[in-house]
Amino acid sequence: MSRPNPVKALNGVRSGHICDRCNKEVQTGDMVRAYAAHYDRDGWMLRRLWCEECGDSAIGEGTDGTDEAIIEAVL
């Protein structure tokens, strides 16, 4: 089954977002990594967001048993 692109979960994220690990402010134009999970009712939801230095490339924490993805994007 095809899903919408998880990068859409980043819609609405603006500069001023804070890295979940080091609390650095993420600026527009910065590379970010984010963890998103897909819910049948809500679609892709952004769960965590990190700056370029902190970003995980693997899903390390417990999840909700749904589809999930690590996103890399430039804000």
Q: Which two tokens stand for residue 39?
A: 């819910």
Binding mask 44-73 for Zn ion (x = CB under 5 A): -------x--x-------------------
Q: Which stretch binds Zn ion (CB under 5 A): 3-11, 22-30, 37-45, 64-72?
A: 22-30
Return d(Cα 52, Cα 19) in angstroms, integer.
9
Q: How far is the CB of 1 from Zn ion (least distance, A)?
A: 34
Binding mask 2-21 for Zn ion (x = CB under 5 A): -----------------x-x
Return d(Cα 41, Cα 29) in angstroms, integer.
31
Are 75 and 30 in contact, with CB atoms under 8 Å apart?
yes
Return d(Cα 6, Cα 4) in angstroms, integer.
6
Q: Is 31 in the site for Zn ion (CB under 5 A)?
A: no
Binding site for Zn ion (CB under 5 A): 19, 21-22, 24, 51, 54
